[in-house]
Structure 1
Amino acid sequence: MTRIAFLDVDGTILEHGSLIAPSTVTAIRQARANGHLVWLCTGRAQGDIHPDVTAIGFDGAISNGGAYATRNGEMLVRHPMRRDDVAAIEDYFAAHGIHYFLQSHEAVFASPGIEPVTREYVRQRLAQRAAAGLDVPATTAIPRTRPLAEVDRDQVAKAVFVSPAADTVAHAAAELGERFHVIPGSIPLPGGSNGEIGLTGVTKGSAILEVLALLGLDPADAIGIGDSWNDVEMFQVVGTPVAMGNAVPELQAQAGRVTTAVLDDGVHNAFAELGLI
């Protein structure tokens, strides 16, 4: 039976913004050679997916946390925000002095000041890892960005923020209201908070259901593998959800099935256990 697997990128395929376990590449290519479908399912913009990830080879990609999906260059799913939604989010950030990124399908756009702040956060985290005797990656996961002045606000899919306050995820959700989906982000910070803001109902799970309907496949036969809070809705719609070993325990509990960590052959071990390879 042909199965379809949806894979998150950061923390699932890619670690520290640049590291991929060789077994992950082998597993994905072997699963596809065996007749299964493997799709990316990421919160990143399509244009911000690491080229080493793209080079592995996939059957399609869901990006921007479910706002877009493409296959062989064809746009299958497209749900950008309205311009007034983007304005409401940016007004909130301005009122509270929060730095942010706006994402479209093609690129990531940075508000003035966010890159130095993010780089300082990453520098602190790497220093903490070095002090603890842990490996320090050669590169960081800071997005490749364009100036905010270049963004087309009719094409924005989501916003990502970095805040000095620890409670911004809950505060933003309360202040922005039910139209918006606010969740913790995946940027590892030594303090403050990081989060993502999209439209309610536009998630990885909603995009997966749209893709499966177009492909004529049953969600019960689908696999979803991830490690972040934007993977919750993916876990809810696929028949076989799998959390990475590096995911927080609360997220692992939501998936039920747990594989090993991203650089500890997590994708390979999941594919082997599920019979894809």
Structure 2
Amino acid sequence: MLAGMRLLATDLDGTLVFHHVVRQADAEALVRWRAAGNLLVLATGRSVRLVQHAVEVARASTSIGLDYDYAVCATGTTVIDAAGQVHRTRTLEADQVRAVVRAIGDVTQAPVSVFASTLERDYVLDDPIGLSTDQRTPPDRFTAAPLSQVAGLGVTSMPLHIPDVRTSAALASGLEETVDGISCTRSTGFVDVTAAGESKGMGLGRLAELLADQGMEVSEVAAVGDSWNDISMFEQADVPCAMAGAPGEVVEAAGGRTTPSVAAFIDALLA
């Protein structure tokens, strides 16, 4: 058994990716982390396809790129390796997807942009806020399609874009009360709908089981993130850390530990 390996799970948006850019210092720190014999895991609400987009962003904005060992995608529902092989995934039932879309208008009168992710593609079902057509959004990122076409395709998560924090909290709780068998996890600007019980923390737990089955022993898990969907990940970590400026509940879940950057956190871990 390989002993003594350390694992770092890092969130992407608001932690490693800012305005479609990865900072050079962060990319260099991730290289140092892996060069020291440690595992790097990307833990994100992004779908499998949008994780690849983050890798492309890193390649375009740094001289290094972004190499990783595993990714926990779509709010914990899906675990892939660096080659893109899916080791585990869980999807919503078609009836649940339809029920979520129907329930949104009953739960809130605020505009909500509705997306649905599968292993292969990211769909936009309704976008009154205009995220999918924003000039900063790559034109091939989302495919417009009707609910009737998408519901049965194996939806891993449904990201709902709703910028207001208080409205998003009410939407999350309202949907969980209205639709059976789902979980709603908040992140900055989004509520991610998944099958019940799914979270980044659950995904990390399943990755730990996968590594154990492969004879890989992890001696320490560190995690860094900036939003509410990272709290479950912090609960799985020996060394949790929130990004400076994260909401108070997120900082509290990290035991009060904060960092100005991923690079600074890695430097502290390697010291």
Aligned match of 1:125:
none
Choose 36-45 or 107-116, whichever is displaced more.
Answer: 107-116
Q: Cα distance, 1:80 vs. partner?
A: 1.1
Find the counterpart in structure 1 of residue 209 from structure 2: 213
The answer as to whether partners of 1:39 and 1:61 remain within 8 angstroms in 2 is yes
Aligned counterpart, 2:79: 69
Distance 1:119 1:63, change over 3 A: closer
Aligned pair in 2 of structure 1 residues 253, 86: CA closer, same or farther (>3 Å)? same
CA distance in 1, matches of 2:178, 2:219: 37
**Which residue does the alignment assign to 1:232?**
231
Instruction: Select the residue among 109, 118, 121 that pairs with 1:107.
Output: 121
Instruction: Tell me the equivalent position of 2:57.
Output: 52
TM-score, normalization: structure 1?
0.79
The answer for the alignment partner of 2:160 in structure 1 is 161
Structure 1 residues 161 and 92, CA, compared in 2 at 3 Å: closer, same or farther? same
Please tell me whether the aligned partners of residues 102 and 158 of structure 1 are also in contact (alpha carbons under 8 angstroms).
yes
Identity of aligned residues (%): 21
In the other structure, the counterpart of 2:98 is: 87
Compared with structure 1, are the counterparts of its residues 201 and 47 closer, same or farther at alpha carbon in structure 2 (3 Å cutoff)? same
Residue 141 of structure 2 is aligned to residue 147 of structure 1: no
Q: Is this contact kept in 2: 1:220–1:239, CA < 8 A?
A: no
User: SS state of the match for residue 57, structure 2?
Assistant: helix
Deviations 1:168-208 (A, max 9, x none): 2332233225x221232322xxxxxx422112211111111
User: Given the alignment of the two structures, is residue 37 of structure 1 paired with residue 48 of structure 2, yes or no?
Assistant: no
1:5 aligns with 2:16: no
Q: Which runs of 5+ in 1 are unaligned?
A: 123-137, 188-193
Is 1:174 the counterpart of 2:177? The answer is yes
1:246 maps to amino acid: G
User: How far apart are 1:94 and its partner, in Å?
Assistant: 5.3
State the number of aligned residues: 247
The verdict on how the C-alpha distance between 1:101 and 1:157 changes in structure 2, with shifts beyond 3 A counting, is: same
Aligned-pair Cα RMSD in Å = 2.7
CA distance, structure 1, for counterparts of residue 239 and residue 41 of structure 2:
15
* 8 Å contact from structure 2 (residues 6, 218) kept in 1: no
Structure-1 residue corresponding to 2:62 = none
Shift of 1:257: 4.7
The change in CA–CA distance for 1:269 and 1:146 in structure 2 (over 3 A counts) is same
State whether structure 2 residue 257 is matched by structure 1 residue 274. no
2:18 aligned residue:
15
Q: Going by fraction, where is strand more abundant, 1 or 2? A: 2
C-alpha change, 1:143 and 1:235, in structure 2 (3 Å) is farther
* Residues 211/113 of structure 1: CA separation in 2 closer, same or farther (3 Å cut): closer
Amino acid at match of 1:5: L
- Alignment-mate amino acid for residue 79 of structure 2: A
Give the CA deviation at 1:219. 6.7
Cα 1:196–1:238 shift into 2, 3 Å: same
